[in-house]
Structure 1
Amino acid sequence: MSGNNVQKIKRFNRFYTRTMGLFNLYTDESPYSATEALILFEISTRNDCTAAYLSNYFLLDKSYMSRILKHFERDGLIVKSFSEEDRRIQHIKLTDLGGEALKTLADKASLNVESMIDGIAEKEIEVLIESMQKIEEILYPKIR
């Protein structure tokens, strides 16, 4: 790939990160970062979720993931339980408090997206979504 293409992709990544407000999306009124919010979301969607799964899924260092999960445990957002098949494995689930925190984070994220697309014509929003879907389609095999 040419260096020019790399620079164009990096420029888009910076633009998208800034446009989505990913640097301050969750920190304005929340004790949780965007990374932590995404981890909470993933825990909520997975049966038999484990720290190893989360580290691999998010491509994060295991010790960093461990610190995040300890933070969640201290805050009462998650509980861990040993697997019945293998006592070395601990499954992670959201508590009711964790579900409430996730809902608050998700609602804030939805408001941010709504304000981002406010005033954009419906046809342009459709093009935007189709473009996002195309990016996912092209890049998904690379992150599996």
Structure 2
Amino acid sequence: MPLTRHKSAGYMTNWAARLFARVIDRKLKPLALGSGYLPVFFALSDGGSRTQKELALGADIEQPTMAATLNRMDRDGLIIREKDQNDRRITHIRLSDSALAHAAQIKTIVDQVNETALSGLNSQERQVFLEALTKVTAALSQADDPSK
């Protein structure tokens, strides 16, 4: 029985994710940003701060990957690291003022790409699609839980 990629949920989801990243990366390039920074922007665009562990857990990204992302963002002047006043072992991370200044542009770009991606769907289909993706990610998250 041959594999048919257009009938594979995994293949199609992965392909869509790669296309999303490619289009967003192209649109973020003039800001000298990439889609890999988006989980941090999403978590910190409210002006708050989080620890590296909190950012990694919230984005469902491995600690070493988050550490590398934060190091690049630090190098690019996008984040500020501040030691906790009560426990010097803890470092809080927040977006720099220059990064926060880009937050509205980033949101606009992400919204535009999402609108483009969903442009072939009517409002009911969009709702069903997003609800289905929520169920798919929940099922996969449960299957990925090592305690199960």
Calculate the aligned-residue CA RMSD, in Å. 3.0
Conservation of the 8 A alpha-carbon contact between 2:53 and 2:63: no
Structural mapping, 1:26-41, within 5 Å:
26-29=24-27, 30=29, 31-41=32-42
Question: Aligned partners of 2:11 and 2:108: how far apart in 1?
Answer: 24
Question: Aligned partners of 1:56 and 1:126: how far apart in 2?
Answer: 27
Q: Residue in 2 aligned with 1:19?
A: 16
Question: Aligned partners of 1:15 and 1:73: how far apart in 2?
Answer: 34
Cα offsets for 1:28-54 (capped at 9, x unmatched): 142333222112212335854112333
Stretch deviating more after TM superposition (79-88 or 17-26): 17-26
CA 1:107–1:142 in structure 2 vs 1: closer, same or farther (change >3 Å)? Answer: farther
Deviation of 1:85 (Å) = 1.7
SS at match of 1:26: helix
Q: Residue in 2 aligned with 1:127?
A: 128
Question: Aligned partners of 1:115 and 1:48: how far apart in 2?
Answer: 31
SS at match of 1:28: helix
Contiguous gaps of at least 5 residues in structure 2 = none
Percent identity over the alignment? 19
Contiguous gaps of at least 5 residues in structure 1 = 1-6
1:59 aligns with 2:56: no
Cα offsets for 1:16-70 (capped at 9, x unmatched): 23335233133214233322211221233585411233334433242x4333222
Q: How many residues align?
A: 136
Question: Aligned partners of 2:116 and 2:132: how far apart in 1?
Answer: 19
TM-score normalised according to structure 2 size: 0.71
Cα offsets for 1:69-89 (capped at 9, x unmatched): 222223221111110121011
TM-score normalised according to structure 1 size: 0.72
